[in-house]
Amino acid sequence: MDGNWITLISIGATLLFLLGVPVFLVIGYWVIGASLVLGMTLDNIGAALGDVFTDGFALLAMPLFILTGDLINRSGIARRLSDFAYACLGWIRGGLGMASLGACGLFAAISGSNSATTATIGSMLHPEMVKGGYDPRFSAATAAAGGTVGIIIPPSIIFIVYGFLLNLPISDLFVAGILPGALMVIAMQFVCWVVCKRNGWGYLIPLQFARIAKTGLGAWLGFFAIGLVLWGIYTGKFSPTEAAGVTVGFCVIVGLLSLPLHRLIGTKGEERPVTDRGYAEMLVVQGFRVTELPSITMRSAQITGILAPLIAVSVVMQQILSLLGAQEVIGDFVTGMGGYYAVLFTAMVIIFISGMVLESLPVTIILAPILAPIAHSIGVEPVQFAVIFLVGASIGFITPPYGLNLYVASSVTGVPYFRLIRYTVAYIAALLTVWLVVALVPDLSTALLPSR
C-alpha cells in the first residue's frame, strides 16, 4: 500500500516539474509526502535540514564563492579578463567567440558557478559578438556552453557539495578539475573555430603583442585572485572555505580602493578601446562604492537562498530513497552490467540522462552517494569518479529539456530558448568527447594531486 502512495506522490512531483514548478518545491513536496507515508515525523525533516548546515563547514564556501563572482563582475575585473582573452585570440577566425569561452574559463577560476559564468560573460560579450558579425543564436549558445566549466575549473560550488557528501578532500577535488576543465575549454574553442570558419562569422583584429601585454596588465587583479585561490588550496595554506573567505576579502578591498584611484587617474570609462587607454589606467579597475555592497551582497544571498534549501531537502530525499531501497536497486542494476567498462559507462549514461532533466545539485546529492561506491568497487579512484560525475552533470547545463545555462543565456541575451538548441549540438558533441577521455584516462584527473 505504501508503494502505491509513493508512486502517486512521485507522479505528482513529475507533473509539477513538467509544469515548471521550482525544483526545490517539487523535491520538498515529494519529501514531505513520502515522509508522511513512511510514518516519519516532520520534525525529522527539520533536524536533517539543520544538520546539513551546522555540520557542513565546507558548505560555507558556497555563498562566499557566489559573492566572489558578483564582486569581480561589479568591480570590473571580469571585463578585464575578457579583454585579455580577446587580445590573445581575436586575430583568429571566430576569435571573439573563442575569447568568450576563454573568459568563461578564467571567470570560473574565481567564481565556481556555471550560471554566474554564463550570465556574466554572456551579458558582456554577446552584444560585442553580434556587432562583430556573429549569429545572435550562436553567440548566446557559446555563452551557455562556456558556462559548463563553471563547476569543473576550481573553485567549484558543486565540488564542495560532492566532497561534503562523500567525505572527500575538497582541495583534492579542486586540483583534479584543473586539467579536465582546461580540456573542455580547448575542445569548445576548437568547435567555435570550425563553425565560425565555415560560416565566415567574426571580424578579425591584428595580432598585437603590445595589446596582449596591456590587457594582461589590466587583468592582473584577476590573475592574482586566481593564483591566490589555487596556491592556497594546493599548498594547504588554507581550506577551500578559508580560500573563499580570503577571496571575498580581497575583492572587497580591491573594489573599494579602486574607485577613488580610478577617479584620481582620470580614466574616461571602461567602454573605450584598449588601444586608447594608458598603462597606468589599465592597472586600476573601476571598483564600486561601499554603499553598493548591500545590493551586491543581496544578489548573492538571493542565489544562495535558492541553492541552500535545495541542498537541504535533497539530502533528506537521499535518506528517504535509501530507506526505500533505491540505492540497492540502482546498485544491482549497474553492477549487473558486467565488467569495468560496462559498469562505468552505465553509470555515465545514468548521470547524463539525469542531467538532462534535473539541475546538477539534486543530481549530485541523489546519485553520487549511490554511484560512487559502485565505481570504487570496480577500481575507479574516488577523486577521478568525482570528476567523471561532474563533467557529465555539467553537460546537462546545455542539454534539453532542462538545460539551465540555456535559460540563463536566453534571459541575458534575449534570444528565445528553443532557438539556442540547434547551436549547442556541436558543443555537446565536443564535451561528450572530453567526458569520454576523462573517463578513460585517469591521469587527467589525478596527475596534479599533491599526493602523486
Helix (H, G, I), strand (E, B) or coil at 270: coil
pLDDT tens string, the chain, 452 residues long: the values are: 567 888 888 888 888 877 878 777 888 888 888 888 888 777 766 776 666 666 555 667 778 877 887 888 888 888 888 889 889 998 999 999 999 999 999 888 887 778 778 888 888 888 888 988 899 999 999 999 999 998 899 888 889 889 988 999 888 999 999 999 999 999 999 999 999 999 989 888 888 888 899 999 989 998 998 888 888 877 878 877 888 889 899 999 999 998 888 777 766 555 666 666 777 778 888 889 999 999 988 877 877 776 677 777 777 777 787 788 777 787 788 888 778 899 999 999 999 998 887 778 778 888 898 899 999 989 999 999 999 999 999 998 899 877 778 888 888 888 988 888 899 999 999 999 999 999 999 999 998 887 65
Comparing C-alpha atoms, which of 368, 301, 387, 390 is closest to residue 62? 301
The reported pTM is: 0.82
Predicted pLDDT at 387: 97
Neighbours of 20 (CB within 10 A): 7
Comparing C-alpha atoms, which of 350, 308, 345, 357 is closest to residue 327? 350
Predicted pLDDT at 276: 64
Predicted pLDDT at 53: 61
Comparing C-alpha atoms, which of 77, 78, 219, 239 is closest to residue 155? 239
User: Helices then strands (H, E): number in the chain?
Assistant: 24, 0
Eight-state DSSP code of residue 237: S
**Going by C-beta distance under 8 Å and a sequence separation of 6 or more, which residues neighbour residue 161?**
59, 62, 311, 361, 364, 365
Neighbours of 329 (CB within 10 A): 12
Phi, psi of 272 (to 5 degrees): -70, 150
**Going by C-beta distance under 8 Å and a sequence separation of 6 or more, which residues neighbour residue 176?**
383, 384, 386, 387, 445, 446, 448, 449
Residue located via cell numbers 539551465: 404
Predicted pLDDT at 141: 95
Predicted pLDDT at 2: 67
Task: For residue range 206-224, list pLDDT tens digits in order.
Answer: 888 888 999 999 899 989 9
d(CA 273, CA 306): 38
Number of residues that this document lists for the chain: 452
Predicted pLDDT at 408: 81
CA distances from 91 to 96, 105, 212, 330, 365 (A): 9, 19, 11, 50, 43
Tell me, letter by letter, the H, E, C secondary structure of 391-435.
HHHHHHHHCCCCCHHHHHHHHHHCCCHHHHHHHHHHHHHHHHHHH
Comparing C-alpha atoms, which of 292, 293, 262 is closest to residue 278? 262
What is the rounded end-to-end Cα distance, in angstroms, of the chain? 53
d(CA 265, CA 200): 41
Neighbours of 120 (CB within 10 A): 28
d(CA 18, CA 26): 10
Give yes or no for a contact between 77 and 285, defined as CB atoms under 8 angstroms apart. Answer: yes
Eight-state DSSP code of residue 55: S
Task: For residue range 8-57, list pLDDT tens digits in order.
Answer: 888 888 888 778 787 778 888 888 888 888 887 777 667 766 666 665 55
Predicted pLDDT at 411: 81
Give yes or no for a contact between 162 and 156, defined as CB atoms under 8 angstroms apart. Answer: no
Predicted pLDDT at 394: 93
Give yes or no for a contact between 240 and 58, defined as CB atoms under 8 angstroms apart. Answer: yes
Phi, psi of 56 (to 5 degrees): -105, 75
Angle ∠(197,203,208) on CA atoms, nearest 5:
105
Helix (H, G, I), strand (E, B) or coil at 112: coil
Label residue 202 left, alpha or beta by phi (over 0 means left) and psi (-120 to 50 means alpha): left
Eight-state DSSP code of residue 91: T
Predicted pLDDT at 267: 60
